[in-house]
Chain A
Amino acid sequence: DAGITQSPRHKVTETGTPVTLRCHQTENHRYMYWYRQDPGHGLRLIHYSYGVKDTDKGEVSDGYSVSRSKTEDFLLTLESATSSQTSVYFCAISESRTSGGTYEQYFGPGTRLTVT
């Protein structure tokens, strides 16, 4: 299994508070991603990183920010949590394969966040 951990695994927080989720990898992969998973929507990309301090927005980035100061860590911050951000959050990592240029993603175990 790819070495990916997420913390915390579960969190309950109140509306309006800031929340930071951490993703840590031991694989030295260049790319890291944050997704949210909601019933009926599958996995939706929030933000991703293609290197240290290099990040870009995904399709559902409003209300979220990210930082990557080291190769191994990718942080997701909910600046002011809302009930609509109640979800399961997954971190993923990938690296280009030498043949075909495909980027196979490996996922962490997820963080279940509840905003009350």
Chain B
Amino acid sequence: TQLLEQSPQFLSIQEGENLTVYCNSSSVFSSLQWYRQEPGEGPVLLVTVVTGGEVKKLKRLTFQFGDARKDSSLHITAAQPGDTGLYLCAGAGVGTASKLTFGTGTRLQVTL
């Protein structure tokens, strides 16, 4: 069974601060996705990274896939209250791309 560990589990910061969330595994993934989930709703896809070393930017969010495709990070610059939510990484196994393994999540709270 592939496992994805996210850190930190909880993060409470003030508006304007920067933060990084990590997603680590001992397994290689064919691709990795990041989702954000707000209370009472389903997760919403933010980005998919496929190539080792790939970096993608989505406004103030920067996603990186590790060179060995075993880990990923999400960096948020100048966090805003609207960034509050549960961030989930999810990896697709090599040869089983239609099934995702989800990390346990990082709950982010951004206050004014």
Seen from chain A, the residues whose Cβ lies within 8 Å of a Cβ on chain B are: 4, 31, 35, 40-45, 48, 50, 58-59, 90, 92, 94, 96, 100-110
Contacts and interface: CB of A to CB of B under 8 A. Distances in A.
B98 A107 contact: no
Interface residues of B, number: 23
B-side binding surface: helix, strand, loop or mixed? strand
Given A40-B104, A59-B1, A106 B45 contact: yes
A107 B100 CA distance: 13
Nearest to B32: A102
A35 B43 CA distance: 11
Contacts, number: 62
A109 B40 CA distance: 7
A81 to B, nearest CB: 22
A90 B42 CA distance: 7
Contacts of B43: 43, 90, 105, 107
B104 A42 contact: yes
B44 interface: yes
A110 B98 contact: no
Given A100-B50, A105-B43, 4 more contacts: A42-B102, A105-B90, A106-B45, A110-B42
B56 to A, nearest CB: 13
A102 B102 contact: no
